Amino acid sequence: MGHNICHMTADEKCDRRKIMNAIIERAMDDGDGYNGPMHWHDEVPPLKNCDEAEKWIEAHDTGWYDDHAVRFYDYTSAEITPKIKELQNKHAAIILKIGEYEKQHSVKNLKAAFIGCPECGSKLAKDRLHSEFCPLCRTDLRSKTTLDTLAGYRQKQSDLWGKIKAEKEKQKSKAKVKWLIKYEYHS
């Protein structure tokens, strides 16, 4: 129910009529039909990568079922060089570490039966908590040290992800031009 914003990619030389038919069909099956129109930006040279294409569309979107397609260089078929492999291994390791750290530092592991929410002051029965958040005000109940440590790990993860992308983007010859297509429909 609501306003659906979808993205898809397609080959540069795709059959636009087929793509539009697929979008119209999905909007009909899953929602109230397709409004359109779709703007295919042939005048815009391919953007550096998929993220840039997404940003470009966001910047040109008037926000009301205003659909756009723009080209970008896709590196998903980049070769996994030893350097990329090493970065991917580090990336996988930090994700595991985050998972373990979160498990170890869960509010469920606190000794007290009740946890005070630092934001709204509620006394919460630990056994009835289903997450790390206060059910009343959604404040994260974990300690500042835990949250800072997690933020540090997440920063490392995002730095590694950026490095992997940058390494792949060095392989200009492996890049394929694709369309990023953003469409919206109401359901």
Contact status: 119 vs Zn ion (CB under 5 A): yes
Closer of 4 and 122 to Zn ion (Cβ): 122
Out of 53, 84, 134, 180, the only residue in the binding site for Zn ion (CB under 5 A) is 134
Closer of 9 and 122 to Zn ion (Cβ): 122
Contact status: 124 vs Zn ion (CB under 5 A): no
Long-range contacts of 151-159 (CB under 8 A, 24+ apart): 153/94, 153/97, 153/98, 153/101, 154/98, 156/94, 157/91, 157/94, 157/95, 157/98
Q: 52, exposed or middle or buried, with CB in 10 Å at 0-12, 13-18, 19+?
A: middle
Closest CA to 173 of 87, 53, 79: 79
Q: Which span sits near Zn ion by CB under 5 A: 31-39, 91-99, 120-128, 166-174?
A: 120-128
Closer of 33 and 118 to Zn ion (Cβ): 118
Out of 5, 22, 28, 120, the only residue in the binding site for Zn ion (CB under 5 A) is 120
- Give the Cα-Cα-Cα angle 17, 21, 25 (nearest 5 degrees): 175
Pairing of strands 3-11, 67-74: unpaired
Contact indicator for 58, 43 with CB cutoff of 8 Å: no
Residues touching Zn ion: how many (CB under 5 A)? Answer: 8
- Residue 26 CA: distances (Å) to CA of 4, 33, 87, 109, 180: 11, 8, 38, 46, 17
Contact status: 117 vs Zn ion (CB under 5 A): yes
Contact status: 70 vs Zn ion (CB under 5 A): no
Q: Which span sits near Zn ion by CB under 5 A: 2-10, 97-105, 116-124, 159-167?
A: 116-124
Contact status: 80 vs Zn ion (CB under 5 A): no
Q: Under 8 Å CB-to-CB from 170, ≥6 apart: which residues?
A: none
Closer of 92 and 137 to Zn ion (Cβ): 137
Contact status: 137 vs Zn ion (CB under 5 A): yes
Contact status: 15 vs Zn ion (CB under 5 A): no
Residues that bind Zn ion (CB under 5 A): 117, 119-120, 122, 134, 136-137, 139
